[in-house]
Chains A and B, each alone.
Chain A
């Protein structure tokens, strides 16, 4: 979520606060020292786990649960209990220094202030919704600082309009809704909740600004707020007792831990045009949220509000992340997500797809719990497995870019093949388990309720289709130019053993071509080059469902292979095959899921037509077979990549060169020749040379090195040990 919002650029219209600046100056040195010392403070200030971000998120989450229908068992909580819980939590966190603004000293006053403000904000937010609360927080904060500004309405009047206009709009809307009777709330409670939120923010802000020199004014303010709290407790003011659901209260309590010392309020930004579509949507969602009777609509509007608050209003939180000197965590975050995943077009789209998948999974879980359907929940668990697979792939993508060091002498290049292999084996196992389950169901047909099944599988299909679309874009782009060379290389060098692999490569390539044409990416030159050979197959595929393409293409490829081999030019240069097995694995995973949902849809429709329940296991069997067949090439290819072997061309060159070297002067013998090719076609090697007494060790070593590097152009690195005979473990 954070990552997405980093796209929003920080527009620094935020007024500069002289008081805050002074504060920072005086304590900047000590803060820097504390930062370097304390990893915990780093976590809480500069990472995704910062109290700020978590605080924001938790407040929003807790508010958005209001009226979502999760609350079945409610319990009435008196004011003193809420205050007590928050006081306890804030005391513990501040005392221990976890998830608090930990550069501040532990003071009893701080605890009281934090708990008071949290209680007020919670009370207010209980009545109002997410959006209203956030906007009120913002408004209160801005108003406070505009009060300090000498020329408030000249310099930033444009921004001020936004700051004020939007909350006032919400205020008016709420008024109208109460008037019309949609918003079940009396005026006194409404005004009281607005007042509480403002009060909570003001306490916090006073405390933030002048924490060192407490003037009488601030103390008076604090005292008055305590009085207000007492008044609430004795039911003079409304909301002395609130009916919270147990679930929600637990979540609230848990989440207050993170934001108990939340000073993210200082960085709230709000940059909206007046006619921004999202603004209008937010207003509409506020109306819907109050008026809707159905819980599902409420949830949707709440989710929109959460997104709106998080990305539009609070986006500066993520924009404020800056790279400190030795922040390991931030570097990790930067490496993995910003440089690793988001840098590459392909992995970026997959990352977004991953986010989509995760959010769909959560929606499924929530909806499944709400509607008490086991089918939805088990589908969500299945989704979770997919998410894990995609996550593994993404991690592999980022790891593959890591630099090599002494512990990883050859880098992480093979990790993509490893991830592809893992995904492939997983898919094989999944297909086996599908077969087992289908056989079981064939003989023990269960009673099925098909009412929700269609909707769920259709949504899953849509999500996965989005994934395939996101994928194809990068897939094509990445693989466009490599296939041609790799082909000629393999087929020329070792025709008898790698033919089967060639078939699959060809199949892959063709699939790319077909999809490229479907998608309209015809700029790759090799697409046009191959066009004439595959024309009929392409026509064939257009008639078919996308999911059936695999098997057809695979079968047809056997006929096409001979043609395509002839068609290749005589490019002998050693451009080694570099297919991204990792991406291939993820792609197959998504394809398998898509096939699964298509199978469910088709079988459900067939069952409703023919009322024979055997269609469901039959579809499962077909899907399992398809998955199995499409995964085999991936496993074969990635396994071949994982083994350290010499490719045939280099092997030939090496054999020539080594026999040449063994004939040269003052070389008695060679031993322990080990050469292997990595996935980029670079050759690594080890060689021991036994040098006779007339030869100098270093001269011979350099000579051998020169000969080898001339003979084998792809030689990346070789370790040559020149030694006198009978001196080494190698036995010569």
Chain B
């Protein structure tokens, strides 16, 4: 907390130094203002002036009008990084990761071309998902080091960080799209079988057996490495990239095992595996898309808690009227609660009401996330006198 000790202050915007660490609300409960020793700077403190009773003493004017107050300096906008700048600050591991994503795509194509089974299509799709996820994560990490990403400015009140939501939302749509495509294939086959269509009965002999084994092995290896090397960012609970690496690794390992034992790829088990992957992708995509869409609509993810919170606030008898209440989450790291009240009491009571409201919010909506990195709560209480 920075405290300006000279009264003619140049008003600056808050400069969050440790933004990564969330600030728990309990640390910041406002102390009663009467007991606050740092309230004003030392020169104008009335207690220091005790005993001065001369009529023309300048010190009678406790609150001097500031002489040369500087107008507000709010950064309108931080520079938006160009593509070149972003690329320039990539570290070596990040560059390695980006290269590996290309490898993922290549392996995906290889897996797709190595045979004619549904599971191969599924595996190549999930490899593509992994590659995209790696690119997204590198992009996220890189942009995080730019000022415009996290810092508030007038142009971007919540930072450019909201872009992250959009990209993750697109990723979830990719998941849904791939899942639907993967479900389309067996559905077509099922209809084909059901309608007794002339089924292409020629079973292609697995002449490309070695090719198939190699490509499956490659996919297993690279997703395994990605699983080992990956450090998913903690605040994004839904988008756990390790989960997606495992989604490729496990089926491809099973398939490699089956191949080495001499089973065919187009068996019942592989159909089951591909169906599982498709359904998992769909379900995951839907859940991610839902939670992100709620964030993008400027709402809070848990409706019931919000209603509970509002009803708790309404119960307070000191509050004459609840003018408005907006509890929402602009992006992963921040939650915002704006409460507008009409209170008839004096300043002391207003402060108490504010304190209570902060406690209520902390108790109801603030506690949803439990352990882990929590979003920072920015609570503003707008109190009007009746």
B154 within 8 A of A: yes
B90 within 8 A of A: no
**A372 CA / B71 CA spacing, docked (Å):** 78
**A534 CA / B12 CA spacing, docked (Å):** 49
Q: What are the interface flags for B1-35 relative to A under an 8 Å C-beta threshold, 1 for contact and 0 otherwise?
A: 11110010101111010000001010010110100
User: Looking across the interface, which residue of chain B has its beta carbon closest to that of A687?
Assistant: B380
B residues within 8 A CB of A731?
1-2, 14, 16
Interface of B is mostly: mixed
Task: Name which of A23-31, A542-550, A640-648 contacts chain B.
Answer: A640-648
The reply to whether B154 and A655 form a contact with Cβ atoms under 8 Å apart is yes
The reply to whether A724 and B36 form a contact with Cβ atoms under 8 Å apart is yes
A637 within 8 A of B: no
Distance of A448 from chain B, by nearest CB (Å)? 15
- A660, A661, A694, A724: which contacts B33 (Cβ < 8 A)? A724
**Chain B stretch 295-349: residues in CB contact (< 8 A) with chain A:** 296-300, 303, 306-307, 310, 324-328, 330, 336, 338-340, 347
Interface of A is mostly: mixed
The reply to whether B72 and A658 form a contact with Cβ atoms under 8 Å apart is yes
User: Looking across the interface, which residue of chain B has its beta carbon closest to that of A660?
Assistant: B71
Distance of B382 from chain A, by nearest CB (Å)? 5
The reply to whether A698 and B383 form a contact with Cβ atoms under 8 Å apart is yes
**Chain B stretch 336-386: residues in CB contact (< 8 A) with chain A:** 336, 338-340, 347, 350, 377-385
A288 within 8 A of B: no
The reply to whether B72 and A662 form a contact with Cβ atoms under 8 Å apart is yes
Distance of A546 from chain B, by nearest CB (Å)? 27
The reply to whether B300 and A662 form a contact with Cβ atoms under 8 Å apart is no
The reply to whether B191 and A377 form a contact with Cβ atoms under 8 Å apart is yes
Contact sample, A vs B, 6 pairs, CB 8 Å cutoff: A374-B188, A409-B325, A645-B157, A655-B154, A692-B40, A697-B383
B155 within 8 A of A: yes
A673 within 8 A of B: yes
The reply to whether A651 and B155 form a contact with Cβ atoms under 8 Å apart is yes
A residues within 8 A CB of B62?
694
The reply to whether A407 and B14 form a contact with Cβ atoms under 8 Å apart is no
**A85 CA / B61 CA spacing, docked (Å):** 98
In this complex, how many residues of chain B approach chain A with their Cβ under 8 Å: the count is 87
Q: What are the interface flags for A239-266 relative to B under an 8 Å C-beta threshold, 1 for contact and 0 otherwise?
A: 0000000000000000000000000000
The reply to whether A414 and B296 form a contact with Cβ atoms under 8 Å apart is yes
Distance of A210 from chain B, by nearest CB (Å)? 48
Q: How large is the interface on A (under 10, 10 to 19, 20 to 34, 35 or more residues)?
A: 35 or more
Task: Name which of B93-101, B192-200, B210-218, B261-269 contacts chain A.
Answer: B192-200
A residues within 8 A CB of B23?
729
**A412 CA / B156 CA spacing, docked (Å):** 21
Q: What are the interface flags for B141-179 relative to A under an 8 Å C-beta threshold, 1 for contact and 0 otherwise?
A: 000000000001011111000110010011001100100
A450 within 8 A of B: no
B250 within 8 A of A: no
Known: A642-B166, A692-B40, A701-B382. A406 touches B306 (CB 8 A): yes
Q: What are the interface flags for B119-149 relative to A under an 8 Å C-beta threshold, 1 for contact and 0 otherwise?
A: 0000000000000000000000000000000
Residue from A408, A665, A702 whose CB has the most chain B CB atoms within 10 Å: A408
The reply to whether B40 and A693 form a contact with Cβ atoms under 8 Å apart is yes
**A414 CA / B295 CA spacing, docked (Å):** 11
**A624 CA / B350 CA spacing, docked (Å):** 61
- A368, A662, A724: which contacts B71 (Cβ < 8 A)? A662
The reply to whether A672 and B14 form a contact with Cβ atoms under 8 Å apart is yes
**A698 CA / B192 CA spacing, docked (Å):** 74
The reply to whether B296 and A378 form a contact with Cβ atoms under 8 Å apart is no
List chain A positions with a Cβ less than 8 A from chain B. 368-369, 372-374, 377-378, 381, 385, 406-410, 412, 414-415, 418, 421-422, 425-426, 429-430, 433, 639, 642-646, 648, 651, 654-655, 658-663, 665-666, 668-676, 686, 688, 692-694, 696-698, 701-702, 717, 719-732
The reply to whether B170 and A669 form a contact with Cβ atoms under 8 Å apart is no
A residues within 8 A CB of B173?
422, 425-426, 429
The reply to whether A730 and B63 form a contact with Cβ atoms under 8 Å apart is no
Distance of A701 from chain B, by nearest CB (Å)? 7
Distance of B159 from chain A, by nearest CB (Å)? 10
User: Looking across the interface, which residue of chain B has its beta carbon closest to that of A718?
Assistant: B382
Distance of A326 from chain B, by nearest CB (Å)? 19
The reply to whether B328 and A409 form a contact with Cβ atoms under 8 Å apart is yes
Known: A410-B326, A414-B297, A720-B382. A429 touches B156 (CB 8 A): no
B42 within 8 A of A: no
User: Looking across the interface, which residue of chain B has its beta carbon closest to that of A725?
Assistant: B39
B residues within 8 A CB of A725?
39-40
B272 within 8 A of A: no
Known: A645-B157, A731-B2. A409 touches B31 (CB 8 A): no
**A658 CA / B73 CA spacing, docked (Å):** 9
- A385, A693, A717, A729: which contacts B39 (Cβ < 8 A)? A693
User: Looking across the interface, which residue of chain B has its beta carbon closest to that of A654?
Assistant: B154
The reply to whether A372 and B197 form a contact with Cβ atoms under 8 Å apart is yes
The reply to whether B30 and A372 form a contact with Cβ atoms under 8 Å apart is no
User: Looking across the interface, which residue of chain B has its beta carbon closest to that of A672?
Assistant: B14
The reply to whether B180 and A421 form a contact with Cβ atoms under 8 Å apart is no
The reply to whether B154 and A686 form a contact with Cβ atoms under 8 Å apart is no
The reply to whether A686 and B39 form a contact with Cβ atoms under 8 Å apart is no
Residue from B23, B310, B327, B338 whose CB has the most chain A CB atoms within 10 Å: B338
**A123 CA / B13 CA spacing, docked (Å):** 83
**A80 CA / B83 CA spacing, docked (Å):** 78
B260 within 8 A of A: no
B89 within 8 A of A: no
Distance of B160 from chain A, by nearest CB (Å)? 8
The reply to whether A644 and B158 form a contact with Cβ atoms under 8 Å apart is yes
Q: A643-B163, A645-B155, A674-B152 given; name 18 further pairs at CB < 8 Å.
A: A377-B191, A385-B180, A406-B327, A408-B299, A409-B299, A410-B299, A642-B166, A644-B298, A658-B74, A660-B71, A673-B13, A674-B157, A686-B380, A719-B339, A719-B382, A721-B383, A725-B39, A729-B28
